[in-house]
A and B are shown apart, each in its own frame.
Chain A
């Protein structure tokens, strides 16, 4: 099946700093999503981005499908950005999403 690798596994930032999270996948995909899991376990949709670039406030994401990676940018980080960020892609065709192991982000005031 498809392999999904996220880096870095852990990241500690000072409030106000910027960061880039990376998601590599081993096969071509027609769907890619980024999620934020807050400290209470809730998974929040950030981006549905099979290709191209999207922005939502301080967050933006870029997927380069031909090179099999996606990047999540967080600018001017806040303590509320803390949690785990997951990317997910389908295993193949019309199959459920496979999740990476996540990047655990801690933003310190």
Chain B
């Protein structure tokens, strides 16, 4: 069974810092990996989706990388801002042969960016 771990569980940084959030998964046979952010009391917002054949995806100040063979993904946030404060969730989708719709979530990294 796929297990997803996110480190650190919480992170508090001053505005302007570049950040790296880590995600690891136990079964490297994934179809793709999706990063989300969750604001308090709100739903999940999809940030980036990386297919298993890709090494990285970029959106604005966000860059997500994927090393499938080692079971790792990182989310890089450049020039962090207070508005980036949220919980960041990593989720993996099992590879073909399994039910593709099933997402396995990590427990998230709670990020606080202070001015």
A and B interact physically: no
A contact set with B: CB distance below 8 Å: none
